[in-house]
Amino acid sequence: MEGILVNLPKHLPLLFNGLQETLYMVGVSLVAAAIVGVPLGVLVVVTEDGHILKQRWLNLLLGGVINVGRSIPFIILMVAIIPFTRAVVGTSIGTSAAIVPLGVAAIPFLARVTESSLKEVDPGVIEAARAMGASRVEIIFKVLIPESLGSLILGLTITTISLVGYSAMAGAIGGGGLGDLAIRYGYQRFRGDIMLETVVILVLMVQAMQWVGSRLAKRVTHK
């Protein structure tokens, strides 16, 4: 432990840079996934039988696409979509390149999280809104989403934490971030101190994200 504390100042630039890259990857991929995944989850819910936009064929199609996306392990997905990654960012190596598979992997996960959150809304509230003449768009944006906002925030928190784990895995193929630091400097150079330091940072990062997410969800949840 004393050796780790003595060498820590030397590692700080590496650790800080790895932390920055991890936060960048997770933040951008989360935003990209939310732009696609949340509307996808909403569509899955509202196109179910008996809901406001009943479309059985569309519901089955979207559900199938989400299931396929969730069935592919992340390490395989990263390799499988290398041509797509190159087409988007011009390379398949580096921090920016890792964002593409991270975002793609998070979309179906976040869609299912959104679906689960919206299904917690009391059907009676939806029926009351319909009886009052609310349009379908108003039901989505003024009933479904506000009523499930606390659960959605918790779902986004879970997705963010999952992306932290995925970003560490992306380091195995040169994706940058703390995962890349742990592999190149910790594992390949037999530096257990660097490996331990990256693990500690990842644990603290996840704990902070969970705390913030839980606090926000508690604040917005309707009592």
Please give the pLDDT value at position 68. 92
Question: Which residues of the chain form beta strands (DSSP E)?
Answer: none
The enclosing H or E element of 150 equals helix 149-170
Which amino acid would we find at residue 63?
Answer: G
**What's the domain range around 140?**
2-220
Residue 127 CB contacts under 8 Å (≥ 6 apart), including other chains: none
* 161, two tokens: 């934490």
- pLDDT tens, residue order, the chain (223 aa): 444 444 555 667 778 888 888 899 999 999 999 999 999 999 999 998 888 888 889 989 999 999 998 898 888 888 888 889 889 888 878 888 889 999 999 999 999 999 999 988 888 888 888 888 888 888 888 889 898 899 999 999 999 999 988 888 776 666 778 877 877 776 666 677 778 888 888 889 999 999 999 999 888 875 5
Q: How many CB atoms lie within 10 A of CB 10?
A: 10
Please give the pLDDT value at position 31. 95
**CATH number of the domain to which 14 belongs:** 1.10.3720.10
For the chain, the domain total comes to 1
Please give the pLDDT value at position 8. 53
pTM of the full structure: 0.86
